[in-house]
């Protein structure tokens, strides 16, 4: 059975309405809820980048829809970076899972509707890392993420060196993992609303 850090359960979830899911009976009223744990399953790990991608999408949807339920499949995603560079693909995968936006490899649509292709765009001319745009209103929010305000524990560097060299014992590996996830916890729980962490503006 999958056992994740307890703090995963304290990270706010993201609920959207997917009209396609409604029509095809995948969920009642098309409501789909995504959690940070879902994001971890997608990425295969939990790290500051995965946490930041989740936070940017969450805050971007809140800015675009306010008190409305976001519409999955009704959102364009723009990334400033080039696919294959740095962590661009990781951020894109998280945004794609939650918003439904895909590049040419996505769902072709049903009866001329619900086409999810060409909603995920790279190398975009935006003043941030990520932008989300409502297709219905063309309102766009531009977001950036900087985790430097949530510093890692100074013990992590030496511990990682031991792990990388193959000289780490089991206690060292356990301690490193705990310290690593503690930083992720501080990003997602303690500092979630810190304006230094995720910056965004409508544009």
CA 119 to chain centre: 16
Contact between residue 20 and residue 73 where contact means Cβ atoms under 8 Å apart: yes
Q: Which two tokens stand for residue 68?
A: 């409305």
Short-list 78, 84, 139, CA closest to 103? 78
Average pLDDT for 158-166: 97
Q: Give the model's confidence band at 87: pLDDT under 50 very low, under 70 low, under 90 confident, else very high.
A: very high
Average pLDDT for 125-150: 97
Short-list 73, 194, 86, CA closest to 135? 73
Q: Give the model's confidence band at 107: pLDDT under 50 very low, under 70 low, under 90 confident, else very high.
A: confident
Average pLDDT for 155-179: 97
Q: Where are the domains of the chain?
A: 6-147+185-202
What are the tens digits of pLDDT across the range 12-67?
999 999 999 999 999 999 999 999 999 999 999 999 999 999 999 999 999 999 99
Contact between residue 70 and residue 59 where contact means Cβ atoms under 8 Å apart: no
**Alpha-carbon dihedral 11, 75, 71, 188, rounded to 10 degrees:** 10
Give dist(CA 134, CA 75) in Å, integer.
5
Check pLDDT > 80 for residue 112.
no
Within 138-169, residue ranges assigned H as helices are: 156-165
What are the tens digits of pLDDT across the range 173-191?
999 999 999 999 999 999 9
Residue 121: exposed, middle, or buried by beta-carbon count in 10 A (0-12, 13-18, 19+)? middle
Q: Give the model's confidence band at 111: pLDDT under 50 very low, under 70 low, under 90 confident, else very high.
A: confident
- The correct answer on CATH 1.10.20 for the domain covering 6-147+185-202 is no
């Amino acid at each position: 059975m999958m056992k994740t850090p307890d703090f995963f359960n304290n990270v706010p979830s993201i609920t959207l309405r997917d009209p396609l899911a409604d029509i095809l009976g995948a969920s009642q009223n098309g409501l789909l809820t995504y959690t940070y744990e879902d994001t971890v399953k997608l990425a295969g790990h939990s790290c500051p980048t995965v946490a930041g991608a989740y936070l940017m999408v969450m805050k971007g949807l809140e800015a675009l829809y306010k008190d409305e339920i976001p519409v999955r499949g009704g959102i364009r995603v723009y990334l400033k970076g080039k696919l294959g560079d740095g962590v661009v693909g990781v951020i894109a995968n998280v945004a794609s899972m939650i918003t439904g936006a895909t590049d040419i490899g996505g769902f072709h649509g049903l009866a001329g509707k619900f086409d999810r292709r060409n909603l995920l765009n790279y190398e975009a001319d935006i003043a941030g890392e990520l932008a989300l745009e409502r297709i219905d209103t063309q309102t766009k929010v531009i977001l950036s993420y900087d985790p430097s305000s949530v510093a890692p524990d100074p013990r992590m560097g030496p511990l990682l060196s031991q792990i990388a060299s193959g000289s780490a014992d089991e206690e060292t590996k356990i301690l490193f993992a705990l310290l690593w996830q503690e930083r992720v916890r501080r990003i997602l729980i303690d500092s979630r609303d810190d304006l230094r962490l995720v910056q965004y503006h409508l544009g």
